[in-house]
Amino acid sequence: MKVPFALLPMLLATLPAAAAEPPELAANPQASIIARVGFDQRLDEPLPLELAFRDEGGDEVALLQYFGQRPVVLVLVQYQCPMLCTQVLNGLVQSLNALEFNAGEEFDVLIVSFDPTETSDLAANKKAAYLRRYDQPGAEAGWHFLTGEQASIARLTETVGFRYEYDPRSKQYAHASGVIVLTPEGRTSRYFYGIDFPTRDMRLGLVEASAGRIGSPVDQILLLCFHYDPATGRYGFAIHRVMRAACAATVLGLAAFIAVSLRRERKKRMAAIVERT
């Protein structure tokens, strides 16, 4: 896979699917393939948790068994991808290594191959490689590498809006890059694009997906200050939220001041009445 061909899908990841293919794209098969690649955000979409895959040990599993307790970071990759998928996984593990949360305790990582020809042996080798990179307690139980049949892969990728295409000329896949944070119930919560995932964004995404079940009071304050932008797949400073919170604090402060002042004034009047009597 040539470098421009591998990186163009990442740049197109946030673009919506075209309604019709322009003639110039139809005349250029490679450009036509790239135009159909991307990531469509489908927030709050429930995953078909009954879908069957194979884990890194070769056992048949259902997606359901990875949900119910903790948020899940879902990554769609090809284990034999020569470049982009490795960069996505490297960026993810770098972000997660800087988190105070641990995979297997506060969240899980679910890596699924979108190439139906890949085997459980490849998944096992990939898991071993990334467990060495992610040297945290509970990592073995928190990272899961799956392979599956085309029917299950197609339904999962369609559900989460992951668009990819096989190029018969290069015998490679063109695909978008990014990760998806899901709720413990298996609903899409946050999409982070590209190959670099800021630890702050990942932390806030996991806290939101867990509905506050993980994290600290500081995280809840940060969520008031930072707002998730679906267009960019990033958290940005939400000045309107801060101003609204500041105004609310000011109003509450004034109300408290007025209440205290009225109480003092009432006490003074009562004391004056007592003295006169």
How do the domains of the chain map onto residue ranges?
3-222, 238-277
The pLDDT assigned to 3 comes to 38
The pLDDT assigned to 275 comes to 65
d(CA 206, CA 228): 12
137 φ, ψ (degrees, to nearest 5) = -60, 140
The pLDDT assigned to 160 comes to 97
CB 117 within 8 A of CB 124: no
- pLDDT tens for the chain, 277 residues long, are 333 444 444 444 444 444 445 554 445 556 677 778 889 999 999 999 999 999 999 999 999 999 999 999 999 999 999 889 999 999 999 999 999 999 999 999 999 999 999 999 999 999 999 999 998 878 999 999 999 999 999 999 999 999 999 888 888 899 989 999 999 999 999 999 999 999 999 999 999 999 877 766 666 665 567 667 777 777 776 544 444 444 444 545 555 556 665 677 677 666 666 666 6
156 φ, ψ (degrees, to nearest 5) = -65, -50
d(CA 112, CA 260): 60
The pLDDT assigned to 242 comes to 42
pLDDT tens digits along 205-251: 999 999 877 766 666 665 567 667 777 777 776 544 444 444 444 54
CATH class of 3-222: alpha beta
CB 219 within 8 A of CB 207: yes
DSSP 109-168: EEEEES-TT--HHHHHHHHHHHHHHS--TTHHHHEEEEB--HHHHHHHHHHHTEEEEEET
Q: Which of 202, 206, 183, 182 is nearest to 192 (CA)?
A: 202
pTM above 0.85, yes or no: no
d(CA 5, CA 68): 38
The pLDDT assigned to 219 comes to 61
The pLDDT assigned to 232 comes to 74
| Helices then strands, each counted (H, E), the chain | 10, 12
The pLDDT assigned to 216 comes to 64
The pLDDT assigned to 167 comes to 86
d(CA 197, CA 35): 24
CB 67 within 8 A of CB 182: yes
